[in-house]
Amino acid sequence: MLDIKSGVLRRNKQAVEQIKSKNVGKSFGSPPKIVIIHFTAGGSARSSANWFASAANTNSSAHVVIERDGSIIQCVSFEKIAWHAGKSTWGSLSGLNQYSIGIELANWGALKGAGGDWVNGAGQRVTNPFIGVHRNGNPNGSRTPIGWEIYPEAQFDAAVELVAALRASYGVDTILGHDDIAPTRKWDPGPAFDMARFRSRAFGDRRDDGANIVLVNAPNGLNMRAGPGLDFAIIASLKDKAPLEPIGQNGVWLEVSVLDAAGLPKATGWVHSHYVKAG
């Protein structure tokens, strides 16, 4: 079980591994309510934590790095500002470092290659990537499906548990991606990270006060796309009457989570609002 004491993350009352970064700002003016999810665009969590601690690195850090197996390294106290967001905006807030906790997930992000032959930044072949299009356009400027490293379930679960501890200690109520707060220059955590599913698990069942659900209204099925428009790739074909949870809107296009038999999000994408109806 994770908890936080005096800004230090603990598992079963023992501090998780600490690799301290010197790139630390002042104490938060008030408890941070926002979590920002990043990918490291690199190899192991330890290599990223060591980079944050390196004397050669003078301008970046994060509060924690989570390895693919779910192990966590803390680099900055949760009571101090880390330098993870850079130039960023969300609503009326500008400069998200001073309002947020930065969580880095060990993950290469976008892969290089095409078809069934994808390699990560170290040149290692990736045999089972996520194929998709970033909603803001891919790092290479394309809007066609490319490979992305998947996030293992153990890593996903550890991040969910961490956010629960941050909620208990600081009242965190918002989870964003780096690509939400700096959409013209960042792509993390990217399309392989199911943000809707993550938020649902981190914040609990959203249907306590009644379901915000729509149903597919298309007898021949409905295409779900990677972005809000016909130029985006089709990522799934949804059956008539399939339950969906709306999570965003862009004109006539709805960003939705597809719900499984238990009512939990299993995939996200975009559908045309003309082909859905209230549940």
CB atoms closer than 10 angstroms to residue 138: 18
Residue type at 66?
Answer: I
Residues 6+ apart with CB under 8 A from 261: none
Of residues 104, 149, 245, 255, which has the active-site annotation? 104
Residue pair 81/102 in contact by the 8 Å Cβ criterion? no
Nearest CA among 107, 156, 109, 152 for reference residue 132: 109
Instruction: Give Cα 273 to chain centroid, integer Å.
Output: 25
104 is catalytic: yes
Task: Give the 3-state DSSP-derived string for the chain, with helices as H, strands as E and coil as C.
Answer: CEEEECCEEEECCEECEECCCCCEEEECCCCCCEEEEEECCCCCHHHHHHHHHCCCCCCCCCCEEECCCCCEEECCCCCEEECCCCCCEECCEECHHHHEEEEEECCCCECEEECCEEECCCCCEECCCEEECCCCCCCCCCCCCEEECCCCHHHHHHHHHHHHHHHHHHCCCEEEEHHHHCCCCCCCCCCCCCHHHHHHHHHCCCCCCCCCCEEECCCCCEEEECCCCCCCCEEEEECCCCEEEEEEEECCEEEEEEECCCCCEEEEEEEEHHHEEEC
> Hey, which residues are catalytic here?
104
